[in-house]
Amino acid sequence: MKKKNRMLISALSLMLCVTGCGEKNTNESSAEPTKVVASSGDVTQAVTTEEPATAEPTTQEPTTEEPTTQEPTTEKPVEYLFTKDTYPRVDGATAQYPMSIEIAMATMGLTKTEAEDFIKHNKTSQAYYNLIHGDADVIFVSEPSDDIIQQAKEAGVTFEMTGIGRDAFVFVTNEENPVDSLTLDQIRAIYSGKITNWKDVGGADKNIIPYQRPKNSGSQNLMEKMVMKDLPMMEAPSHWVPVGMDVILELLTYENGPEALGYSVYLYAKDLYVVENIKFMKIDGIAPNDRTIKSGEYPLSKVVYAVYRNDEPQDSPVRKLCEWLLTDEGQEAVVAGGYTSIR
């Protein structure tokens, strides 16, 4: 019996050793082991059991994001200064027509084709006539001649003039003419009939053919006011007085072109009616170009005007247009039309 007890004790000891050797390292689990004591006769057996770790359920409140409502982006339509119904009735000189187109495009949002269909110019003298007699609201022109001012006075009309850009009065000749420069005194002498041969101004021994323009045309008025001043011009044969500036430029290219002298405005001869084999004369040694015209260095620089009647109401479309023409945007339209800025 003692031998059996010793054998039982040895078996139990071996079991306890095996059980102890199989226990987990406490570093691997932080759960505290629970000891359960079981009795079997006179032998007490300790059985160690680990309660499974039960993680507390985490209740995560559902996140309900408020829907973001994005306002639809709608571009506002561009607001223009005028519509076709509210735009003033405009007229003007031939040379100012491209500028008038640019102004119409910028203030009404028209395409170039639409603007060309909408805007009409009738040359300087007719534009002034239309303004005086109420058939135009505003005209883009050079300053009026004395005859036009007298016509306005007789009709009880007084002009208001807003300078909007700069151009120049120029003299042109055939590029084969050896003379490149004339003084204002020499030009006055030529057109008053005192100088009749190019040799008297440094050229060849050939007669000068000094073309003129019809009375009250824009360039003829500039010639009388800017160049001749109080000196009368000589009577010219009719074939020396072509109706259009384009005809003068064409005549300078003919066989007698090197003998001819004519005048125009810078923008027209430079951009609008370009003719080969002609050149701009220097005046007092200064050539006309964008820089000398804007600075006023060129002696015959001039101002381009928007002209209207002084009985225009203060809030009229005409006055609004003239105010706009002096803004940055307005001056951009003037420059796009070929002129230099007035500012």
Quick one: CA torsion of 191, 194, 196, 201, rounded to 10 degrees?
Answer: -90
Task: Phi first, then psi: give them for residue 65, nearest 5 degrees.
Answer: -80, 135
pLDDT digits over 116-133, tens only? 999 999 999 999 999 999
The answer for residues whose C-beta is within 8 angstroms of residue 19's C-beta and 6 or more apart is 48
Q: Identify the burial level of 261 via C-beta atoms within 10 angstroms of its C-beta, where 0-12 means exposed, 13-18 middle and 19 or more buried.
A: buried
pLDDT digits over 105-114, tens only? 999 999 999 9
pLDDT band at 67 (very low <50, low <70, confident <90, very high): low
Mean pLDDT of 5-23: 43
The answer for residues whose C-beta is within 8 angstroms of residue 226's C-beta and 6 or more apart is 169, 300, 302
Alpha helix (H) ranges present in 212-327?
A: 218-222, 245-251, 266-267, 290-295, 317-325
Alpha helix (H) ranges present in the chain?
A: 2-21, 97-108, 112-118, 124-132, 146-154, 184-191, 218-222, 245-251, 266-267, 290-295, 317-325, 328-336
pLDDT band at 35 (very low <50, low <70, confident <90, very high): very low
204 to each of 180, 197, 208, 249, 258, how far by Cα in Å? 12, 8, 10, 21, 9
pLDDT digits over 179-219, tens only? 999 999 999 999 999 999 999 999 999 999 999 999 888 89
Closest CA to 170 of 226, 120, 107: 226
Q: What is the 3-state secondary structure (H, E, C) of 160-201?
A: EEEEEEEEEEEEEEECCCCCCEECHHHHHHHHCCCCCEHHHH
> Taking each helix axis from N to C terminus, what angle separates 146-154 and 124-132, rounded to the nearest 10 degrees?
20
Task: Phi first, then psi: give them for residue 37, nearest 5 degrees.
Answer: -100, 125
pLDDT digits over 254-285, tens only? 877 899 999 999 999 998 888 889 999 999 99
Structural domains in the chain?
90-341 (3.40.190.10)
Cα–Cα distance measured from residue 227 to residue 233, given in angstroms and rounded to the nearest whole number: 10
